[in-house]
């Protein structure tokens, strides 16, 4: 009888220990507060921006910011387009970094003229001629081409596009993610290149 009580007591403690880990696991429960805590960059957006794939219209965009990806939340928008479709600079700015990563493949980090926001373009098939670190670009300039480099499915070419605020240190890899979808739906313009 005493053993049974002890076993029950131990089981209760185990449940109490395990419970928080389990309850923290469902993505939906975690996602909502993250969305609400996103930095507001609207004061930084003084102009419209190009939807960063040539010819793509607002109606074709889908919010994929809070979708689960292996090991993390997506924190970007995927814009589907045929392989080789021009990827265009969303805003006037500067090519801050050309980087090749396992998940992102060929990528571009562009900063806006005030060096406050990072625009990130990934899974590129290639860079456009003349694109190099430090080069100034204008909204709508072709900077690369839609592809599947990195971990993109080979039969689903798309641009992975992310927007983040730069920290005071201006380190390009340390931005805080902002959902590009509402920004593009409000400020995005279609440009054909
Ligand atoms: Zn993506």
- Give yes or no for residue 113 having a pLDDT over 50: yes
- The Å distance, Cα 161 to ligand 1 centre, comes to 7
Average pLDDT value for residue range 116-120: 94
Short-list 105, 110, 119, CA closest to 147? 105
0.75 exceeded by pTM? yes
- The Å distance, Cα 45 to ligand 1 centre, comes to 23
Domains and CATH numbers, the chain: 41-189 (2.70.70.10)
Short-list 100, 163, 91, 154, CA closest to 126? 100
The alpha-helical segments, DSSP class H, found in 24-70 are: 27-36
Report the pLDDT value the prediction gives residue 42, as an integer from 0 to 100.
65
- The Å distance, Cα 8 to ligand 1 centre, comes to 47
Give the three-class secondary structure for 20: helix
- The Å distance, Cα 1 to ligand 1 centre, comes to 57
- The Å distance, Cα 74 to ligand 1 centre, comes to 6
The mean of the pLDDT values for the chain is: 84
- Give yes or no for residue 37 having a pLDDT over 70: no
Query: Rounded CA gap, 116 and 103, in Å?
Result: 25
Question: For the chain, what percent of residues have pLDDT higher than 90?
Answer: 62
Short-list 165, 152, 142, CA closest to 122? 152
- The Å distance, Cα 111 to ligand 1 centre, comes to 19
- The Å distance, Cα 25 to ligand 1 centre, comes to 22
- Angle formed at CA 186 by CA 181 and CA 192, multiple of 5 degrees: 85
- The Å distance, Cα 187 to ligand 1 centre, comes to 21
- The Å distance, Cα 65 to ligand 1 centre, comes to 8
| 47-104 residue pLDDT tens | 789 999 999 999 999 999 998 887 888 999 999 999 999 999 999 999 999 999 999 9
- The Å distance, Cα 78 to ligand 1 centre, comes to 5
Report the pLDDT value the prediction gives residue 15, as an integer from 0 to 100.
46
């Amino acid at each position: 009888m005493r053993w049974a009580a002890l076993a029950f007591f131990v089981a209760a403690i185990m449940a109490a220990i395990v419970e928080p880990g389990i309850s923290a696991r469902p993505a939906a429960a975690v996602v909502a507060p993250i969305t609400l805590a996103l930095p507001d960059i609207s004061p930084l957006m003084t102009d419209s921006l190009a939807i960063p794939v040539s010819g793509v219209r607002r109606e074709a965009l889908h919010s994929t910011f809070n979708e689960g990806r292996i090991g993390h939340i997506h924190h970007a928008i995927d814009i589907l387009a045929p392989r080789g479709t021009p990827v265009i600079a969303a805003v006037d700015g500067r090519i801050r970094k050309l980087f090749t990563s396992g998940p992102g493949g060929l990528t571009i980090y562009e900063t806006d003229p005030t060096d406050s926001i990072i625009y990130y373009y990934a899974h590129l098939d290639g860079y456009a001629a003349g694109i190099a670190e430090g080069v100034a670009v204008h909204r709508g300039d072709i900077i690369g081409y839609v592809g599947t480099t990195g971990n993109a499915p080979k039969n689903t070419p798309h641009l992975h596009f992310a927007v983040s605020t730069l920290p005071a240190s201006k380190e390009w890899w340390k931005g805080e993610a902002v959902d590009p979808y509402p920004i593009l739906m409000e400020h995005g313009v279609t440009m054909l290149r």
